[in-house]
Amino acid sequence: MSGYPADMSRYPANDTARRLVTVSHQCNPTGVACDLCARKWLFVIATGRSGSTTVEQMLNALPQVQITGEHAGAFKYWRKLWEGMEITNSRKTMPFLHEHVSQNMFYCHIQDWYWKHSDGTCKNGEATVHGFKEVRYNDRANIDWLKEVFPCAKFIFSYREDVSHYSSFKARSQTDAQPQPQQPQPEPQ
């Protein structure tokens, strides 16, 4: 039973848990932490109607830059997953027994996933700067967490102070799109 945590040797029937532990050792057999600053990241964090799509398009016009569009706030779910892992890492009883999940390795997996996810759309794998633009990270906790996962990333913040112009434009365009009642035509004489 070598290669398994001491606690696992007490549960010889738990083959599923053993396979999971074996896989975790195979993923990082040396136990060496990855470098969270090894890649170049750029994020556009914006409010709605602030021109962030134009910023994204301008950045993508640069060679070796791949900025993807909004992803419905998906990184919020990575954060929730990590919060759950912190809870299970702190518990040592059998229902929660598993190999300790390293914060560094978890963050590296997020970076790996996003790097692969963002390079497939263009640039033929040649992009050296990756990132995304998103309008759903307008609270400090999510921005701080992004900075924790991507500690050497650069950020562009795009915002619009007065969105009332957009609201009035939207109301006018919806009114203009409504069919207007026809004016009675004078009858020919």
Assigned token pair, 49: 């109607």
> What is the DSSP pairing of strand 129-134 with strand 65-68?
parallel
For residues 155 and 59, the answer to whether their CB atoms sit within 8 Å is no
Closest CA to 34 of 120, 121, 131, 115: 115
* Cα 55 from Cα 112, distance rounded (Å): 24
The per-residue pLDDT for 171 is: 64
For residues 135 and 48, the answer to whether their CB atoms sit within 8 Å is yes
Secondary structure of residue 93 in the 3-state scheme:
coil
The per-residue pLDDT for 95 is: 74
* Cα 159 from Cα 81, distance rounded (Å): 29
Closest CA to 149 of 119, 88, 107: 107
**Mean pLDDT per 10-residue segment, the chain (189 residues):** 43 45 42 83 93 95 91 90 88 75 93 81 69 90 94 94 64 62 70
